[in-house]
Structure 1
Amino acid sequence: MTEQVESVIKVLFVCTGNICRSPTADGVFRKIVEEAGLSGRISVDSCGLSAYHVGELPDPRSREMAQSRGYDLSDIRSRKIKPSDYEQFDYVLAMDDGHLRDMRRQASSTHQTKIELFLDYHPQRTGQSVPDPYYGGANGFEHVFDMIEETSNSLLAHIRNQHAL
Structure 2
Amino acid sequence: MNVLKISVLFVCLGNICRSPMAEAVFRHYVREEGLEEQIMVDSAGTGDWHTGEPPHHGTRAKLDEAGISYAGQKARQVKPADFETFTYIIGMDDSNIANLRKLAGRREAKLYRLVDFIPETTYTEVPDPWYTGNFEETYHLVSEGCRGLLETIKREHGL
Which bracket does the TM-score occupy, shorter chain normalised?
Answer: over 0.9
Aligned length: 159
2:40 is the alignment partner of 1:40: no
Tell me, which stretches of 5 or more residues in structure 2 are unaligned? none
Please give the alpha-carbon distance, in whole angstroms, between the structure 1 residues aligned to 2:125 and 2:6: 24
Cα distance, 1:14 vs structure 2:
0.3
Please give the alpha-carbon distance, in whole angstroms, between the structure 2 residues aligned to 1:36 and 1:109: 35
Residue 162 of structure 1 aligns to a residue whose secondary structure is: helix
TM (norm. structure 1) is: 0.91
Larger radius of gyration: 1
Q: Percent identity of the aligned residues?
A: 39
Tell me, which stretches of 5 or more residues in structure 1 are unaligned? none
Matched letter for residue 92 of structure 1: I
2:150 is the alignment partner of 1:156: yes
CA pair 89-145 structure 1, distance change in 2 beyond 3 A:
same
Measured against aligned partners, the alpha-carbon deviations of 1:83-107 in whole angstroms (never above 9, x if no partner) come to 0001100000100000101111221
Please give the alpha-carbon distance, in whole angstroms, between the structure 1 residues aligned to 2:22 and 2:156: 20
CA pair 49-162 structure 1, distance change in 2 beyond 3 A:
same
2:123 is the alignment partner of 1:136: no
Residue 108 of structure 2 aligns to a residue whose secondary structure is: helix
CA pair 52-110 structure 1, distance change in 2 beyond 3 A:
closer
2:32 is the alignment partner of 1:22: no
TM (norm. structure 2) is: 0.94
Cα distance, 1:55 vs structure 2:
0.3
Please give the alpha-carbon distance, in whole angstroms, between the structure 1 residues aligned to 2:4 and 2:132: 40
Structure 1 segments of 4+ aligned residues over 4 angstroms from their partners? none
